[in-house]
Amino acid sequence: MSGSDINLQSMLSEWKGAQSFKELNWSGGFDDYLAIVKKNPKVTRNAFQRMYDMVVQAGTEEYIDVKKKIVHYKFFNDVENGGKDAVFGIDISLMKLVNVLRSAALGYGTEKRVILLHGPVGSAKSTICRRLKSGLEQYSKTDDGALYTFEWVDEKGQYPEVFGNQKVFPTPMHEEPLLLIPKDLRNKIIDELNRGQDDDYRVSISGQLSPASRYIFRRLMEIYNGELDKVLSHVRVKRLVLSEADRIGIGTFQPKDEKNQDSTELTGDINYRKIAEYGSDSDPRAFNFDGEFNIANRGMIEFVEVLKLDVAFLYDLLGASQEHTVKPKKFAQTHIDEVIIGHTNEPEYRKLQDNEFMEALRDRTVKIDIPYITKLKQEVRIYKKDFNNKKLRGVSIAPHTIKMAAMWAILTRLEKPKKANLTRLQKLKLYNGQSLPNYTEDNIKELRKETIREGMEGISPRYVQDKLSNALVNAQQNNKGSLNPFMVMNELENGLKGHSLISNDELKTEWKELMSVVRQEYEEIIKAEVQRAISADEGALQRLCSNYIDNVKAYTQKEKVRNAFTGQDEEPNERLMRSIEEKIEIPESRKDDFRREIMNYIGALSLDGKKFDYRTNERLHKALELKLFEDQKDSIKLTSLVSSTADKETQEKIDIVKTRLIKDFGYDEISATDVLHYVASIFARGDVKSN
């Protein structure tokens, strides 16, 4: 036996699945189930209560966003699936969804509505539904999410007139076992089950058995002359595990063309092979209760593009939502217990609003807008999930590549600010939590309030993902080694020509202009990083800072400064101080205030027993870096990268800068070299960033 075989055997022996299998396949009598209910009333929750508890029990995080408390539901992180269906950046929409579930769980009316997720293409509507469906599957396997159903058993084959040739007849709609209790006995049993229970979870019984189970129950009552205990002796209660793949408790319905689809897909159809066995097409045992409404009982049903449904389907949807019943062919109204969630895009929803014949559906829907993300850091998370250096082959992604693609996507979604002195890029930065002079959180709240459809239009994340993929494949094929923002931006811009969802030429022109804004922003970012890498000599920064502070102290106290070289006392070096202050745009008229501010800051630290560090003062730190960069850039001769081969001394300095880019800013050898070449070409044109 090989080593690998031994390891496999060991792994199989340690697998805990056998114990889990036993728990999930528990079965027992009706009395055993009543004991379970008495101990844990939560097993009888309806579909809305179970879904709400599932979301909340995964945990929450609260944070403040522009003076508003936001609750983030960890359920939508999709941790158990490695974040495959994680939903980012739309916490407010998800809060509204969970509030609807809470209202429905408490029986306040929304349990009689279709939940309609409405938003542009690619805004995570389907992802939310997938997450809820996979969550229900996982939750039903846990102790907290346990639920039960039953099957009819005739092990000795005593009653073929009731069960036909079947010794075990599973109830076709996975209904709650307590529905077996006759209506006139329910209140008495409910009171007994709820005695001594917490008010948060009290047993209630609503609805009725499916037609097939109702038929068997009635026939057995006739055989046993109404002796309920004997009827229930044919009942075997079992654990119910929801599964979309097995069509148990989770259904999905997608419109097709009218010729290939009818309402039986929702409510089931006759099983013609069983008519010969049972003698009639109106016998419920000869009917397949396998429509999407039937199989989704106890869980949820997702309607993909729900507003594309034919009118015949909408009638079923109205009854299913309002009365919690469906009408299978040749049978009475049949009770269902499920969450109905549909999703639709903007054009289809406008049709609904304009169609007066759809008034009944509008009245029975709760619309929840699912917009595009408008926060840069959240949009970046979407793309980093699929595009990260761990997944790539032979190509690395340069810093800021994904960020620039995300930035352009969000700029297309933002409405033009009404304030004349505010650009879209500045608005993006404010939304992303960055601070701008003269803008407070109240200003940001006003910016959001003045928008009408922000986030409901713009570029879809799917488009960006497609173009990132194209750029990555091109880089691999051409042996580029590193995918940089310019490659991706070119791909994004070129793709607009043939974009199937954009027919407006003015819009294309506007979005191309926004790409120019992103290119310019990227240039500013990398120039700043190269500047910081050049001026990152801690010793030189510390010496420059000490020199500046000595001069500022002498200036504010009207003293002289001792020249360390000559030993003579001299006037404060005004030229040095102004050369630093000008880097952060301190005007001549404000220099005295700024210098006093620095000295007061140092004094306050001293009173607290703390030592001054230039890195704790962001403005001064920035000014010192820019000053040092200006002093050192000529000695490094970065422009020699684009003009001629650098001499040994210069190359050593350039290598130091490159090392700092790799260590401090996340570049690799290829992308650091590329950035240095590009920034060098800017400097060669004389385009040096001064602020």
pLDDT in tens, 601-656: 888 888 888 888 887 777 888 888 888 877 776 655 555 554 455 567 777 778 88
- CA–CA separation, 96 vs 111, rounded Å? 15
DSSP string covering 574-622: HHHHHHHHGGGT--GGGHHHHHHHHHHHHHHHHHTT----GGGSHHHHH
pLDDT higher than threshold 70 for residue 499: yes
Query: If you average pLDDT over residues 297-302, what whole number do you get?
Result: 96
In the predicted structure, residue 203 carries a pLDDT above the cut 60 = yes
**Pick from 510, 426, 409, 547: nearest CA to 467:** 409
**Is pLDDT above 80 for 312?**
no
Q: Is the pLDDT of residue 680 over 90?
A: no
User: d(Cα 332, Cα 210) in Å, to the nearest integer?
Assistant: 10
Q: Give 179's DSSP letter.
A: G
pLDDT for residue 641:
54
The alpha helices in 279-345, defined as continuous H runs, are 292-295, 311-322
Q: Which of 46-55, 401-410, 616-625, 642-651 has the lowest mean pLDDT?
A: 642-651
503-521 per-position pLDDT tens digit: 678 888 899 999 999 999 9
Residue 438's pLDDT is 82
Give the start-to-end residue ranges of the domains of the chain: 376-518, 533-684
552 Rama class: left (phi>0) / alpha (psi -120 to 50) / beta: alpha
Q: Which residues face 396 on adjacent strands? A: 482
Closest by Cα among 37, 48, 32 to 147? 37
* Mean pLDDT computed over every residue of the chain: 88
Q: What type of residue is 144?
A: D
Burial pattern 423-452, b for ≥16 Cβ within 10 A else e, equals ebbebbbbbbeeeeeebeeeebeebeeebe
pLDDT at residue 563 greater than cutoff 80: no
Overall average pLDDT of the 28-35 stretch: 96
Strand 482-483 to strand 561-562: parallel, antiparallel, or no bridges (unpaired)? unpaired
Q: Give Cβ neighbours of residue 78 (< 8 Å, ≥ 6 apart).
A: 84, 85, 86, 87, 131, 134
Which amino acid makes up residue 427? K
Strands 325-326 and 334-335 come out as antiparallel
Residue 18: pLDDT band (50, 70, 90) is: low
pLDDT band per the 50, 70, 90 thresholds, residue 682: confident
Q: What are phi and psi of 241, to 5 degrees?
A: -110, 120
C-alpha 632/C-alpha 539 separation (Å) is 14
pLDDT in tens, 432-460: 988 887 888 888 999 999 998 999 999 99
The per-residue pLDDT for 608 is 83
pLDDT (0 to 100) of residue 690: 43
> How far apart (Å, rounded) are the C-alpha atoms in residues 218 and 221?
5
Over the stretch 58-69, which tens digit does the pLDDT of each residue have? 999 999 988 889
> How high is the pLDDT of residue 689?
44
Residue 250 has what pLDDT?
97
Q: How far apart are the first and last CA of the chain?
A: 70
- Which residues lie closer than 8 Å to 411 by C-beta, 6 or more apart? 424, 425, 428, 514, 517, 518
- Compute the average pLDDT of residues 341-362: 82
Flag whether pLDDT at 691 surpasses 60: no
Which tokens is 289 given?
Answer: 């209760």
Which H or E element spans position 126?
helix 125-139
Q: Is the pLDDT of residue 536 over 80?
A: no
Neighbour-count burial of 292, counting CB atoms closer than 10 A to its CB (0-12 exposed, 13-18 middle, 19+ buried) = buried
Distance CA 370, CA 651 (A): 53
Record the pTM. 0.85
pLDDT tens profile 417-432:
988 789 999 999 999 9
Q: How confident is the model at residue 56 (pLDDT cuts 50, 70, 90)?
A: very high
Per-residue pLDDT at 687 exceeds 50? no
Please compute the mean of the pLDDT values over residues 670-674 and round it to a whole number: 90
Stretch 547-558: mean pLDDT: 91
How confident is the model at residue 14, as a pLDDT? 64
Burial of 134 (0-12, 13-18, 19+ CB in 10 A): middle
Rounded to whole angstroms, the Cα distance separating 366 from 67 reads 27
pLDDT band, residue 258 (cuts 50/70/90): low
Q: What number is the average pLDDT over the span 191-203? A: 83
pLDDT of residue 221: 96
Query: Who wins on pLDDT, 567 or 462?
Result: 462
Is the distance from CB of 240 to CB of 290 less than 8 angstroms? Answer: no
Average pLDDT over residues 465-490: 91
CA distance 406 to 400: 10
Distance CA 623, CA 615 (A): 11
Per-residue pLDDT tens digits for 78-124? 998 888 999 999 999 999 999 999 999 999 999 999 999 999 999 99
- What is the per-residue pLDDT across 128-178, written as a single tens digit (0 to 9) for each? 999 999 999 999 999 999 999 999 999 888 999 999 888 999 999 999 999
Locate 164 and state its tokens: 């036909």
Segment 382-410 shows an average pLDDT of: 87
526/52 Cα distance (integer angstroms): 47
Query: Does residue 303 sit in helix, strand or coil?
Result: strand
Residue 392 in this model has a pLDDT that exceeds 80: no
User: What residue type is assigned to position 622 of the chain?
Assistant: K
* Average pLDDT, integer, range 204-222: 94
Residues 272-286, mean pLDDT to the nearest whole number: 87
**At 236, which helix (H) or strand (E)?**
strand 235-239
Say if residue 260's pLDDT is above 70. Answer: no
Compute the distance between CA of residue 438 and CA of residue 458 in angstroms, rounded to an integer: 28
- For the cut 50, the answer to whether the pLDDT of residue 1 exceeds it is no
